[in-house]
């Protein structure tokens, strides 16, 4: 095979010079403060064995799905799982995608039309930005979680747009890099006032732990403005895939026009069975206890941040994601290395993944982290921040 063109080699060299070159790392056996397995579902034996048993009990001996869902890849199991998801999330319908990335590409590239406007939080996930870029609608961004800025933009949009213009407001329930959340109560009210359709990515939010759309606003208000929700299964659910929740008409539209759904091989039966089993497990007493433990760990983490006087370094968060800002790729890598040497798996988040000067250590908390581990990893962090090489 031939080598890379010169221009591509130059781009790699630029990344290396900025100490921002990405490389794959093997999963370590260190204490986990990096994975999205917030509730330990990825290693749950009930889900693991239950998914296999479900297939065996139904006589499904099949490794692959054999095609796209519109051809040979659909099944009764797929449809049963989507019905279960719709009922669980109190939605009219659910459509499963192979990943959250696929779901966002499909939704945002096909739904907003050329005469429409998409107004999005500046910190939304790359998959949503990519989907918006692939679409034909005009897009505008508002300052992160700044609903006053959003209000001023919506005022201009409604002043300048035709009556037939749809306005979609896009945000996340829990932001993946900052761990913070929007004011959902005020956000839904704004969408109603300016006749906008709300699209909410809930990839990192956990029912029973985080502030969710079910916890806020009158039901009739929520139903009037909430157009679509994107939920993923590879994080707190511990499996794979995602779903878009919305109306039956939205589901029909997506399976006709969302290219990332139409032109891809469907998930294999074992993954669909894992999704259904995980959701049947999530409301058991054992998992509810894990949710309680995670909430307690979030409280312990925030209290220890205060005790160690690290508050100025951390972005305020009540979710499982906590980010400590350490400006500079080289600097944040150094501190990450010190923490890793002490047996804790924590990874630096570098620019350009985050803006330059906003490089960070991203701590993901889990139900299985102990109080001792939380206090020790933050103690190491505090010492590292004050070490001579960083002063």
CATH no. for residue 336? 3.90.1150.10
The last residue of one of the domains, among 257, 281, 305, is 281
The residues near 132 (Cβ < 8 Å, ≥ 6 apart) are 108, 109, 112, 118, 120, 139, 170
Residue 104: phi and psi, rounded to 5, are -70, -40
pLDDT number for residue 390 = 44
The last residue of one of the domains, among 264, 281, 298, is 281
pLDDT, tens digit only, all 391 positions of the chain: 888 999 999 999 999 998 888 888 877 789 999 999 999 999 999 999 999 999 999 999 999 999 999 999 999 999 999 999 999 999 999 999 999 999 999 999 999 999 999 999 999 999 999 999 999 999 999 999 999 999 999 999 999 888 789 999 999 999 999 999 999 999 999 999 999 999 999 999 998 888 777 766 666 666 779 999 999 999 999 999 999 999 999 999 999 999 999 999 999 999 999 999 999 999 999 999 999 999 999 999 999 999 999 999 999 999 999 999 999 999 999 999 999 999 999 999 999 999 999 999 999 999 999 999 999 999 999 999 876 444 4
For residues 175 and 201, give the distance between their C-alpha atoms in angstroms, rounded to a whole number: 9
In a domain, 250, yes or no: yes
Based on the fold, state whether residues 190 and 216 are members of the same structural domain: yes
The residues near 354 (Cβ < 8 Å, ≥ 6 apart) are 177, 360
In a domain, 37, yes or no: yes
Based on the fold, state whether residues 208 and 83 are members of the same structural domain: yes
Based on the fold, state whether residues 260 and 122 are members of the same structural domain: yes
In a domain, 248, yes or no: yes
Based on the fold, state whether residues 177 and 203 are members of the same structural domain: yes
Beta strands in the chain, from DSSP E residues, in sequence order = 31-32, 93-97, 117-121, 138-142, 167-172, 197-201, 226-232, 242-246, 321-325, 344-345, 347-349, 360-364
The residues near 347 (Cβ < 8 Å, ≥ 6 apart) are 34, 336, 361, 362
- What range defines the domain where residue 332 resides? 26-41+284-385
In a domain, 256, yes or no: yes
The last residue of one of the domains, among 236, 261, 281, is 281
Based on the fold, state whether residues 96 and 36 are members of the same structural domain: no
Total-model pTM = 0.93
pLDDT number for residue 29 = 87
Query: Hey, what are 79's tokens?
Result: 């449809």
Q: How many domains does the chain have?
A: 2
pLDDT number for residue 164 = 83
CATH number at residue 259: 3.40.640.10
Q: Tell me the CA distances in angstroms from 311 to 243, 315, 322, 328, 372, one per residue in order.
A: 36, 8, 11, 19, 20
**Helix, strand, coil shares of the chain as percentages rounded to 5?**
45, 15, 40
DSSP β-bridge partners for residue 345: 32
Based on the fold, state whether residues 306 and 211 are members of the same structural domain: no
Based on the fold, state whether residues 261 and 222 are members of the same structural domain: yes
pLDDT number for residue 389 = 46
Q: Are 278 and 233 in contact (CB under 8 A)?
A: yes
Based on the fold, state whether residues 121 and 193 are members of the same structural domain: yes
As a whole number of Å, the end-to-end CA separation of the chain is: 47
């Amino acid at each position: 095979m031939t080598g890379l063109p010169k221009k591509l080699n130059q781009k790699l060299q630029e990344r290396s010079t900025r100490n921002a070159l990405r490389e794959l790392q093997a999963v370590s056996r260190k204490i986990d403060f990096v994975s999205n397995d917030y509730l330990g579902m990825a290693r749950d034996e009930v889900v693991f064995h239950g998914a296999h048993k479900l297939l065996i009990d139904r006589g499904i001996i099949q490794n692959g799905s054999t095609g796209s869902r519109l051809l040979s890849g659909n099944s009764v199991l797929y449809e049963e799982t989507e019905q279960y998801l719709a009922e669980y999330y109190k939605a009219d319908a659910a459509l499963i995608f192979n990943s959250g990335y696929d779901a966002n590409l499909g939704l945002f590239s096909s739904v907003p039309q050329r005469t429409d406007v998409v107004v999005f939080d500046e910190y939304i996930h790359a998959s949503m930005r990519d989907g918006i870029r692939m679409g034909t609608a005009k897009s505008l961004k508002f300052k992160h979680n700044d609903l006053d800025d959003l209000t001023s933009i919506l005022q201009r949009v409604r002043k300048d747009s035709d009556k037939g213009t749809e306005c979609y407001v896009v945000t996340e329930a829990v932001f993946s890099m900052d761990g913070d959340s929007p004011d959902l109560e005020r956000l839904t009210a704004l969408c109603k006032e300016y006749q906008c359709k709300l699209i909410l990515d809930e990839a990192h939010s956990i029912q029973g732990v985080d502030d969710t759309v079910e916890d806020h606003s009158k039901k009739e208000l929520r139903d009037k403005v909430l157009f679509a929700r994107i939920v993923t299964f590879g994080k707190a659910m511990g499996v794979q895939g995602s779903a878009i929740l919305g109306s039956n008409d939205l589901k029909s539209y997506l399976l006709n026009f969302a290219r990332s759904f139409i032109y891809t091989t469907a998930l294999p039966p074992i993954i669909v069975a894992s999704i259904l089993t995980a959701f049947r497990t999530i409301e058991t007493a054992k998992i509810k206890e894990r949710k309680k433990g995670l909430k307690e760990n979030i409280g312990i983490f925030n209290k220890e941040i205060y005790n160690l006087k690290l508050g100025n370094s951390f972005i305020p968060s009540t979710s499982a994601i906590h980010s400590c800002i350490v400006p500079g790729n080289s600097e944040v890598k150094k501190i990450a290395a010190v923490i890793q040497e002490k047996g804790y798996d924590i990874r630096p988040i570098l620019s350009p993944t985050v803006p330059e000067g906003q490089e960070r250590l991203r701590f993901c908390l889990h139900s299985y982290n102990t109080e001792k581990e939380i206090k020790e990893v933050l103690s190491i962090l505090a010492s590292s921040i004050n070490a001579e090489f960083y002063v």
